[in-house]
C-alpha cells in the first residue's frame, strides 16, 4: 500500500490490523486486567496492566490519533473523564483558562466547579470575537484556551487558526473539543491546535451504545514535557481509562464514521433548508445555511457542516411543545448516533448553566439528525410543528 491513505482507509485499518496469532480479521477484545511476564518486567508487546495499556484500547487510540493527525491518542471512560485528565495533566493551581462561552454545559461545570476549587480560574469569552479572546488572556497565568467549534448547542463557528495564534502568542496551549465535527469534518491539529478532545460517546461511537472520551496530542510540549507524555502519565496515574469492551465499540464505530457523517450532513442540510420555511420556526441554526454567520468560515476550515441543527421558536412554550411532540426524534440528551434525537437543552444538557450568563436560550431545541430516511424525519418534524402552530399565540408586549 502506498504512503498516502485516505480517511476511510485509515479509519478501517489504522491500529486495526488482523490478529497475528490466529489471522482473525477483527482483532480480539483483550478482556484482561493483567499480562503474564516472561521474566521480571519482561513484557510481551509492552503490556503489563490494563490501566497502563491494553491492546484493544491501544488499537483504538492509534486509529483515532491517525485520523486526527496527532502523535498519540488516549482513551478514557467518558468525554468528561478525558477533559478532566487533560486539565489535571497540564494545569496547576493559579493557572487560568480562556474558555469559549458557548459550549457543553458539563465542560463548564467541570472547569468551574471541580477545577475552580483547586485554584484554576477561567474567563468565558464569545467564541467568534477574537479581540475578546485576546483581551481575556491573563499574561503569565493563562495556560490554556479551550474552544468548542461548532459549539453545543448554538452551532457557533470559531476561527481555529486565530485562536491558535492568540494562544501561542500568550505562551499558552489551544485545546479544541472536536466532538461535533469529528475528524471526518475537521482536524484542529492541522489548524494549529495543540490538543483535541472528544466525547467518543457521540459520532465516533456513533450508535448511542457506549460512553467514552479521548484526548489526541500533537507533537508539542508543555512546561518542558511532551504533551503526549504528560497526558499518558495522567491517564495511567489517574486511571479513568476506557475498558476493552468500550474501546472495541468505539473502534468499531470509528470505521464507519465517514459514511455516517456524509449521511448525517446530507439529512441535516435538507431538513435545515426545509425548516427555515416552516411556520412556527423563528430561526434555524445550521452552519450549512448560507445565512449562518459562520458559513464561509465553516466552508473553509471544515469538510462539511455536520448533523446538528438547532431551532429557535421565539418563545419557550413552543420549544417545549415541539421537543415533547417529536416521535422519531426521541427526546433525549446526547447526540451523534445513527438515530435522531431532540433535546431541550436549557433544561437538559445545559441545566448546569441555567440562570447564568452562559444559559442556553429557552426557546431552543437541538436536533441530532440521524441517518434514517429523510422523508420520515421530515414527516415527524412536520407533525410536531403542527402542534406548535396550534398553540395559542403568546401575548404581544
Ligand atoms: N463535549 C461535548 C461537545 C459534548 O457534547 C459532551 C457530552 O454531551 C461532552 C464533551 C462530554 O462527554 P461525555 O458525556 O462522554 O462525558
Gap from CA of 278 to ligand 1 centroid (Å): 31
* Residue 141 among the catalytic residues: no
Q: Is the CB of 337 under 6 A from ligand 1?
A: no
Give residue 141's pLDDT: 98
Q: What is the pLDDT of residue 356?
A: 87
**For the chain, what is the HEC assignment?**
CCCCCCHHHHHHHCCCCCCCCCCCCCCCCCCCCECCEEECCEECCCCCECCCCCHHHHHHHHHHHHHHCCCEEEEECCHHHHHHHHHHHHCCCCCEEEEECCCCHHHHHHHHHHHHHHCCEEEEECCCCHHHHHHHCCCCCEEEEEEECCCCCCCCCCCHHHHHHHHHHCCCEEEEECCCCHHHHCCHHHHCCCEEEEECCCCCCCCCCCCCEEEEECCCEECCEEHHHHHHHHHHHHCCECCHHHHHHHHHHHHCHHHHHHHHHHHHHHHHHHHCCCCCCCEEECCCCCCCCCHHHHHHHCCCCCCEEEEECCCHHHHHHHHCCCCCCEECCCCCCCCCEEECCCCCCCHHHCCCCCCCCCCEEEEECCCCCHHHHHHHHHHHHHHHHHCCCCCCC
Longest dimension (CA), the chain: 80
pLDDT tens-digit readout, 179-204: 999 999 999 999 999 999 999 999 99
The reply to whether ligand 1 has any atom less than 6 angstroms from the CB of 55 is: no
Annotated catalytic residue 202: yes
| Cα 37 to ligand 1 centroid, rounded to whole Å | 38
C-beta of 222 in contact with ligand 1 (< 6 A)? no
Ligand 1 touching residue 152 (CB < 6 A): yes
Which ligand 1 atom lies nearest to the CA of residue 200?
15
Enumerate the domain spans of the chain: 7-255, 257-389
369 C-alpha to center of ligand 1: Å? 17
CATH 3.90.1150.10 at 257-389, yes or no: yes
- 205 pocket-lining for ligand 1 (C-beta < 6 Å): no
Residue 395: per-residue pLDDT: 59
Contacts of 113 (CB under 8 A, 6+ apart): none
In angstroms, what is the span from residue 77 Cα to ligand 1's centroid?
12
- In short, whether 150's Cβ falls inside 6 Å of ligand 1 is no
Q: Which residues contact 8 (CB under 8 A, 6 or more apart)?
A: 258, 259
- Ligand 1 centroid vs 82 CA: distance in angstroms? 10
104 catalytic? Reply is yes
Which is the closest atom of ligand 1 to the Cα of 211?
Answer: 15
pLDDT tens string 15-40: 999 999 999 999 999 999 999 999 99
What integer pLDDT is reported at residue 357 of this predicted model?
84
Whether a cis peptide bond, with omega within 30° of 0, leads into 153 is yes
Query: What's the whole-model pTM score?
Result: 0.97
- Cα of 146 vs centre of ligand 1, distance in Å, is 14
Contact 177 CB / ligand 1 (< 6 Å)? yes
Low-confidence stretches of the chain (pLDDT < 70) are: 1-4, 395-397
Say which of 202, 255, 312, 320 is annotated catalytic. 202
CATH for 7-255, among 3.40.50.720, 3.40.640.10, 1.10.510.10, 1.10.3430.10? 3.40.640.10
- Alpha-carbon separation of residue 239 from 82, 84, 222, 231 (angstroms): 11, 11, 21, 11
Amino acid at each position: 500500500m502506498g504512503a498516502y491513505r485516505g480517511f476511510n482507509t485509515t479509519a478501517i485499518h489504522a491500529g486495526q490490523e488482523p490478529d497475528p496469532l490466529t489471522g482473525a480479521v477483527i482483532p480480539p477484545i483483550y478482556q484482561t486486567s493483567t499480562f503474564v511476564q516472561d521474566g521480571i518486567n519482561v513484557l510481551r508487546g509492552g503490556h503489563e496492566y490494563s490501566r497502563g495499556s491494553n491492546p484493544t484500547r491501544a488499537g483504538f487510540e492509534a486509529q483515532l490519533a491517525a485520523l486526527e493527525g496527532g502523535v498519540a491518542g488516549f482513551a478514557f471512560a467518558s468525554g468528561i473523564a478525558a477533559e478532566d485528565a487533560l486539565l489535571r495533566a497540564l494545569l496547576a493551581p493559579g493557572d487560568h483558562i480562556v474558555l469559549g462561552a458557548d459550549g457543553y454545559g458539563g465542560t463548564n461545570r467541570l472547569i468551574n466547579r471541580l477545577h475552580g476549587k483547586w485554584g484554576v480560574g477561567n474567563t468565558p469569552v464569545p467564541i467568534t470575537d477574537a479581540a475578546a479572546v485576546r483581551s481575556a488572556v491573563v499574561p503569565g497565568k493563562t495556560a490554556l484556551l479551550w474552544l468548542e467549534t461548532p459549539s453545543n448547542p448554538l452551532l457557533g463557528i470559531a476561527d481555529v487558526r486565530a485562536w491558535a495564534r492568540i494562544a501561542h502568542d500568550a505562551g499558552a496551549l489551544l485545546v479544541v473539543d472536536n466532538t461535533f465535527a469529528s475528524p471526518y469534518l475537521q482536524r484542529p491539529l492541522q489548524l494549529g491546535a495543540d490538543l483535541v478532545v472528544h466525547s467518543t460517546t457521540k459520532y465516533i461511537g456513533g450508535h448511542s451504545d457506549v460512553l467514552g472520551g479521548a484526548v489526541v496530542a500533537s507533537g508539542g510540549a508543555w512546561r518542558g514535557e511532551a504533551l503526549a507524555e504528560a497526558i499518558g502519565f495522567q491517564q495511567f496515574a489517574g486511571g479513568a481509562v476506557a475498558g476493552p469492551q468500550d474501546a472495541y465499540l468505539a473502534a468499531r464505530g470509528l470505521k464507519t464514521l465517514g459514511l455516517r457523517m456524509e449521511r448525517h450532513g446530507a439529512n441535516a442540510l435538507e431538513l435545515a433548508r426545509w425548516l427555515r420555511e416552516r411556520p412556527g420556526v423563528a430561526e434555524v441554526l445550521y452552519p450549512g445555511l448560507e445565512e449562518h454567520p459562520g458559513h464561509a468560515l465553516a466552508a473553509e476550515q471544515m469538510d462539511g457542516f455536520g448533523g446538528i441543527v438547532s431551532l429557535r421558536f421565539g418563545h419557550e412554550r413552543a420549544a417545549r411543545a415541539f421537543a415533547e411532540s417529536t416521535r422519531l426524534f426521541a427526546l433525549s440528551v446526547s447526540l451523534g448516533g445513527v438515530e435522531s434525537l431532540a433535546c431541550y437543552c436549557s433544561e437538559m444538557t445545559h441545566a448546569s448553566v441555567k440562570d447564568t450568563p452562559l444559559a442556553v436560550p429557552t426557546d431552543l431545541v437541538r436536533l441530532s439528525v440521524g441517518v434514517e430516511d429523510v422523508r420520515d424525519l421530515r414527516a415527524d418534524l412536520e407533525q410536531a410543528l403542527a402542534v406548535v402552530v396550534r398553540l395559542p399565540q403568546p401575548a404581544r408586549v
